[in-house]
Structure 1
Amino acid sequence: MTSETSANRKALVVRGGWEGHQPVKTTELFIPFLRDRGFDIDVSETLEVYTDAERLAATDLVVQCWTMGEITGKQSEGLAAAVRGGTGLAGWHGGIVDAFRGDVGYHQLTGGQFLMHPPGFVDHEINPVPDRSDHPVIAGLGDFRVDTEQYWMSTDPLVDVLATSVFPAGGERDRAVTMPAVWTRNWGAGRVFVSTIGHKPDDFDVPEVRTLTERGLLWASR
């Protein structure tokens, strides 16, 4: 048992910030999944963990659900350095792309930043990118619908977009716009997975949302 346990990967769940995204409840949806896949789970409800280089170096996957809030330069640099060294980073919705708005380095790490969403929940379609259909995060998934917030994003051109959603023309938009909804990126030796879907826990009741999120966590891990 000792040797088996020591071979397990380690996941660090970092959660907090704005309570509207229910960081505890949503991360608890995925902790059993990660345990079943052989991860030892550690949980931090403070960003100060990002300054612990030794702890992060021993972590294979950081799952972050921390909406808004502020991150110090030392914390941000510590997280980026860990990912550059091979620690994976993954998250969904505001917990990863509506975080730490004042930190440009963090935005470069995640590859995107939330700008706005239409009022309330929007019934809309998520479209896996056909040219990326062989990617393990979306392999075998077709178009599917969700009824939740639809994020308008500013994204880095270096991200690997795996799924999109369409904002129709109307109001200030003179044409329809295809927006990245799910992507991955490499950061040094590390991997980053982002899904913009997941405002509320029942968003993950949609089988495709649950599947791509679980796959994204595994893909990002060292």
Structure 2
Amino acid sequence: MSNRRALVVRGGWPGHDPVGSTDLFLPVLADAGFDVTVEDSLEVYADEAVMAGTDLIVQSWTMGDILADEMHGLRVAVENGTGLAGWHGGLLDAFRNATDYQHIVGGQFVAHPGDLVDHEIHVRPERTDHPIVEGIGPRIRMTTEQYWLHTDPLCDVLATTTHDVGPDSPWREPTTVPVAWTRRWGRGKVFACTVGHSVEDLQVPEIHTIVSRGLVWAAREPDTV
């Protein structure tokens, strides 16, 4: 039986270190039995043959624009069973004008109030049996960007964080937003994690475990080929 195929697509705004951050997970994918291809262009999304043979897309592409044929190819691939996974701006702040992309992913970055802040991530008690977060938490302490997202109800939220009210906050009550979630889209699966501003963030043991498990979880299931 041949290995499943993972496609790592990385680029866009360089501030999130798309090369260094994705390199961190290449051994994870190899150990999980994937043949890995790395692309530094979105053009691959428009290659129907490549996309049809891909079991998992790991995307790290902050901001930028996606062409219509590339978006079409990505959407069709996910709907047909290709998994889509990523973290931080590489998945959640990509292609700001492409609302059909946001529709697939289920969330869009809108702010990180206070920039690098000390905060807690909470694994939702009712989801502690999910294989991505099992045995982790219940709290993870981080000092990094705390994403504020717009998300939709289809997300199966595994972990959250709460933005507290400060003296200059325009919001008037503590606001809880997702940190990690999964969702189904057509025959495909999506995994997203808001943490990952730097390689160091992704090396935090709990975060590294969540992302590693999430990538493998999102991959095409053998019976959907």
TM-score when scaled to structure 1?
Answer: 0.96
Alignment of 1:57-72 (within 5 A): 57-72=52-67
**Alignment partner, residue 141 of structure 1:** 136
Secondary structure of the corresponding residue to residue 172 of structure 1: coil
CA distance in 1, matches of 2:84, 2:217: 10
**Alignment partner, residue 203 of structure 1:** 201
Q: Deviations over 1:29-68 (max 9, x none)?
A: 0001111111101011110100011101111100000000
Alignment of 1:91-110 (within 5 A): 91-110=86-105
TM-score when scaled to structure 2?
Answer: 0.95
**Alignment partner, residue 119 of structure 2:** 124
Deviation at 1:205?
A: 2.1
Secondary structure of the corresponding residue to residue 209 of structure 1: helix
CA distance in 2, matches of 1:13, 1:63: 5
CA distance in 2, matches of 1:123, 1:205: 17
**Alignment partner, residue 82 of structure 1:** 77
Q: 1:153 aligns with which of 149, 155, 173?
A: 149
Structure 2 portions without partners, runs of 5+: 221-225
Q: Deviations over 1:82-107 (max 9, x none)?
A: 01000000000000010000111000
Query: Matched residue pairs, number?
Result: 217
Q: 2:183 aligns with which of 178, 181, 185?
A: 185
**Alignment partner, residue 40 of structure 1:** 35
**Alignment partner, residue 47 of structure 2:** 52
Moved over 6 A (4+): none
Query: Are 2:182 and 2:191, in contact at CA under 8 Å, matched by a contact in 1?
Result: yes
CA distance in 2, matches of 1:74, 1:135: 35
Deviation at 1:73?
A: 1.5
CA distance in 1, matches of 2:97, 2:69: 14
CA distance in 2, matches of 1:107, 1:127: 24
Which residue identity does 1:120 align to in structure 2? Answer: D
CA RMSD for the aligned pairs? Answer: 0.8
Deviation at 1:172?
A: 0.8
Secondary structure of the corresponding residue to residue 107 of structure 1: helix
Which residue identity does 1:202 align to in structure 2? Answer: E
Structure 1 portions without partners, runs of 5+: none
Q: Deviations over 1:106-161 (max 9, x none)?
A: 00010000001123311111101111111111111111111110000000111111
CA distance in 1, matches of 2:102, 2:72: 12
Q: 2:13 aligns with which of 14, 18, 25?
A: 18
Which residue identity does 2:6 align to in structure 1? Answer: A
Secondary structure of the corresponding residue to residue 171 of structure 2: coil
